[in-house]
Structure 1
Amino acid sequence: MDFDANIADTLIKLFAAWLLIAGVAYWANREGLGLSKKMLIASGRGLLQLLALAFVLHWIFDIQSHLAQAALIAGFCILAGHNSASHQDGARTTWIACAIGLICACLVTLPWLAVTGSISDDTRTLVPLGSMIAANGMNAISIMFSRLKSGGELGDGLKTAMIPTIDTLRVVGLVHMPGIFVGMVLAGASAIDAAVAQLIVLYMVVTSSFTACLITFLMMNHLNKRKA
């Protein structure tokens, strides 16, 4: 009986949160912005993907091999690269360039942080951080592509792509209380330890996003020249 009550309570919470998306989608539809369908489809995909992840996460965290960890993170980068490439031309060379850019972003940050002891080298740490790099890098690349398609130069694209991450870093602790900081504090960690962990992640995101954008652009130029 308690199990059924917990499921019902969970579904009510999810539905209440989803109504926010539904309301915004309706508003966007009335304004003729062409975003409603994308919002609703993305909300459904997000639900299914997160539920699937919840079911397999304990198996993922049992992984001990660094090679398997790297393969899993590379998979995140490949999938994220495909999404970013769709904001440019969807070409295979663009997809490859994006994936390489994101993988390089992981290589620049994760090994250094693990070797210096800033983060642990276990799967429970590396895989979630790798997914964060892939997701934030994907967003930065997509913003860069949008700027480039509107006629901007590489410098303009990089500046625009880095605005969200740099702004987050600028206002952290003043306007923004990030999830890692809040989660650690609620879990009983000291505020100093939570702040240090959050800053490590923010520094990682800024560095990896810039690296992903720059390497992606350079790889696109290289691959396009070879193709020509």
Structure 2
Amino acid sequence: MLTELFNSQVLLGAAQALGAVALCLCVTALCRYFKVTVGVEAAVSLLRGLVQMSIVGVLLGLLLKGSLLAAILILMGMVIAAAATASRRLKGMPYAFQIALYSIGAGAGIAIVFMIATRSLQTNVAVLVPVGSMIIANSMNACAQAMERFKSDVVAHVGQIEAALCLGADPSVSVAPFVQSAVYASLLPRLDMLKSLGLVWIPGVMAGMMVSGASPLYAGIYQFVVVAMILAASGITGMVVIALMQKHAFSGAGQLLLRPTLGEKRGPESPLSRFASYFRTDGKAR
């Protein structure tokens, strides 16, 4: 029906976007029934998403015949934006942006370079940027999930960790269970994505390849390669971010620096951790 009303693709897209936004706003309005108020945040997110994708569409149209350097610069900009987004979840953590930047860059970078080296990914902007952005986006999500899980677990078990430190445990040993759960949390959505691939969802890359005339079998195999690289990138990102967070969560003297921010709950404090509180940050009794 919309195609009959609008001759221009831009006007048609605007009408379709308006319909999608209207449905999303109705859903957020219904969320108020559950005492969840996300109307303003949803509206801002929808507006940002529409503006950002419109800009990306214009830029990609201008850069479709760009060089490998142009594609690399675009992907680097995406990594920086992804790091800024993920690091917002880690208030109170020193070097949060740098940790996210190094982690996402390592995970996405290794996966993209591997795909280029094995000729699974072409180096022109039209192919490299869309596929690379999928890997970067999933690395960002893995980074945010690992950071949030590690921080929440540590904050909830401050007393337990400080008690272990008081008894002479190494900082890495005192947070070992939380490291394991954080890395697994970063991998779980991607593992579920692989398990449901082809059964629950057919990715857009595969559909696009089939529409453009590629072999359906090859399109399916190629999409598996992309999702497998997403899993690899997410795993690398999760491991790197937790390794860096471990390093910055403790002082040089082995004291826990990661603390609850305003409004956060912390776990029960043990007698040993209360004793340790007299020797925080500078090693001097308060």
Q: Scaled by the length of structure 1, what TM-score is found?
A: 0.88
Matched letter for residue 83 of structure 1: T
Contact 1:81/1:98 (<8 A) preserved: yes
Tell me: CA distance 1:38–1:195, structure 2 relative to 1, closer, same or farther (3 Å): same
Matched letter for residue 205 of structure 2: I
- Alpha-carbon shift at residue 46 of structure 1 (Å): 0.3
Contact 1:101/1:213 (<8 A) preserved: yes
Q: In structure 2, what is the Cα distance between the partners aligned to 1:87 and 1:140?
A: 12
Contact 1:165/1:206 (<8 A) preserved: yes
Residue number in structure 1 paired with 2:24: 21
Q: CA RMSD in A?
A: 2.4
| 1:139-186 deviation per Cα after TM superposition (whole angstroms, max 9, x unaligned) | 112222332233161211121222211111011112221111122222
Tell me: CA distance 1:72–1:222, structure 2 relative to 1, closer, same or farther (3 Å): farther
Residue number in structure 2 paired with 1:182: 207
Matched letter for residue 206 of structure 2: F
Aligned residue pair count = 226
Q: Bigger CA drift: 128-137 or 147-156?
A: 147-156
Matched letter for residue 140 of structure 2: M
Tell me: CA distance 1:80–1:90, structure 2 relative to 1, closer, same or farther (3 Å): farther
Aligned match for 1:32, one of 14, 31, 35? 35
Q: Does 1:197 align with 2:222?
A: yes
Provide the secondary structure at the position in 1 that maps to 2:95: helix
Q: Does 1:170 align with 2:219?
A: no
- Alpha-carbon shift at residue 86 of structure 1 (Å): 0.8
Matched letter for residue 54 of structure 1: G
Provide the secondary structure at the position in 2 that maps to 1:174: coil
Q: In structure 2, what is the Cα distance between the partners aligned to 1:212 and 1:104?
A: 7
Q: In structure 2, what is the Cα distance between the partners aligned to 1:222 and 1:17?
A: 44
Query: Which entry has the higher C-alpha Rg, 1 or 2?
Result: 2
Tell me: CA distance 1:195–1:5, structure 2 relative to 1, closer, same or farther (3 Å): same
Aligned match for 1:50, one of 38, 53, 58? 53
Q: In structure 2, what is the Cα distance between the partners aligned to 1:47 and 1:150?
A: 32
Matched letter for residue 166 of structure 1: L
Residue number in structure 2 paired with 1:155: 180
Gaps of 5+ in 1: none
Contact 2:146/2:241 (<8 A) preserved: no
Residue number in structure 2 paired with 1:105: 107
Q: In structure 1, what is the Cα distance between the partners aligned to 2:123 and 2:65?
A: 13
Residue number in structure 2 paired with 1:41: 44
After TM superposition, the structure 1 = structure 2 runs for residues 187-226 of structure 1, keeping only pairs within 5 Å, are 187-223=212-248, 225=251
Aligned match for 1:80, one of 79, 82, 92? 82
Q: In structure 1, what is the Cα distance between the partners aligned to 2:244 and 2:220?
A: 36
Superposition misfits of 4+ residues, deviation over 4 angstroms: 223-228
Contact 1:25/1:37 (<8 A) preserved: no
Q: Scaled by the length of structure 2, what TM-score is found?
A: 0.71
Contact 2:146/2:242 (<8 A) preserved: no
Provide the secondary structure at the position in 2 that maps to 1:121: coil
Tell me: CA distance 1:110–1:39, structure 2 relative to 1, closer, same or farther (3 Å): same
Q: In structure 2, what is the Cα distance between the partners aligned to 1:113 and 1:53?
A: 23
- Alpha-carbon shift at residue 223 of structure 1 (Å): 4.7
* Structure with greater helix percent: 1
Aligned match for 2:63, one of 54, 60, 65? 60
In percent, how many aligned pairs have the same letter?
22
Q: In structure 2, what is the Cα distance between the partners aligned to 1:149 and 1:222?
A: 13
Matched letter for residue 136 of structure 2: A
